[in-house]
Amino acid sequence: MLELYHAHISTCSQKARLCLAEKGLAWTSHPIEFATGDHLKPAYLALNPNGVVPTLVHDGRPVIDSSVICEYLEEIAPAEGTALMPRDAYGRAKVRAWLRYIEEVPTAAIRVPSFNGLFLKGWRQMSDTQRARYIEATPLRKGHYRRFGTDGFSKDQVDESTERLRQTVERIDGAITKGTEWLAGNSISLADLCVLPTIVRMSDIGLEDVWRDLPNMTDWYARIRARPSFEKAFYPGSHVSVDD
């Protein structure tokens, strides 16, 4: 029995949903609403003390952190659906290096334009007390929300984030060559699925120009969106728009 606590628009939740779809695994959905602070309530914190989504619960036991969840799904169901890790140790090392890079660079970078474009208005509408309570309650993101302030992230922070996102799409473009359709070789892997939500978010918030001149990256993005797992993970309500 697999249960996923997730938010529809959360890029980290989308990683887990993509893997579940590629593996063809059935799961029970527990949507978490950020607006009502579901992720910071005691019942959820008992599952995930970091107060972030997603959390997978497998036969009653929580598994946290999206990349860990993705590797876990592959390990419990290696023969089901798509194989998402290479068979050889060197191939798996390549995928894991991508996963660490994805966590350190694009996952952190995309928060800057996402928060400025999507959450600043709502954050400003909260009272000082409400904002202070939220910051006090979040186990991992106190510094992030303090830096966000009520002016949003600065131009310097946005520029740095764009530089890091550009590096990511350049690396994707460089990894895809003639005969190598996926990031870690000839088969799709966790590396492709785990970076995809950041790219979708870039597209949703109008940053497609960042990879406009990169043909391999553009082909990879079209190829991965054509897979049935895409619509399953990015169902209506999972995309965001800066005009929302």
Ligand X SMILES: N[C@@H](CCC(=O)N[C@@H](CS)C(=O)NCC(=O)O)C(=O)O
Residues that bind ligand X (CB under 6 A): 10-12, 39, 52-54, 65-67, 138, 141
Residue closer to ligand X (CB basis): 41 or 212: 41
Residue closer to ligand X (CB basis): 37 or 218: 37
The closest of 79, 99, 123, 60 to 183, measured between CA atoms, is 99
3-state SS, residue 210: helix
Quickly tell me which residue has 């202070």 as its tokens: 132
Q: C-beta of 101: minimal distance to ligand X in Å?
A: 14
Contacts of 122 (CB under 8 A, 6+ apart): 35
Q: C-beta of 79: minimal distance to ligand X in Å?
A: 26
- Up-side HSE of residue 11: CA atoms within 13 Å toward CB? 23
Q: C-beta of 65: minimal distance to ligand X in Å?
A: 4
Q: C-beta of 119: minimal distance to ligand X in Å?
A: 9
CA distances from 122 to 40, 41, 113, 128 (A): 18, 20, 15, 12
- Up-side HSE of residue 125: CA atoms within 13 Å toward CB? 6
Residue closer to ligand X (CB basis): 72 or 230: 72
Residue type, 163: E
Residue closer to ligand X (CB basis): 141 or 225: 141
Q: C-beta of 186: minimal distance to ligand X in Å?
A: 27
Residue closer to ligand X (CB basis): 161 or 216: 161
Q: C-beta of 17: minimal distance to ligand X in Å?
A: 12
Whole-number Å distance between alpha carbons of 24 and 61:
21
Q: C-beta of 216: minimal distance to ligand X in Å?
A: 26
Contacts of 96 (CB under 8 A, 6+ apart): none
Contacts of 196 (CB under 8 A, 6+ apart): 14, 15, 18, 224
Residue closer to ligand X (CB basis): 8 or 171: 8
Residue closer to ligand X (CB basis): 224 or 240: 240
Residues of 143-159 as b/e, b for ≥16 C-beta within 10 angstroms? eebeebeeebbeeebee
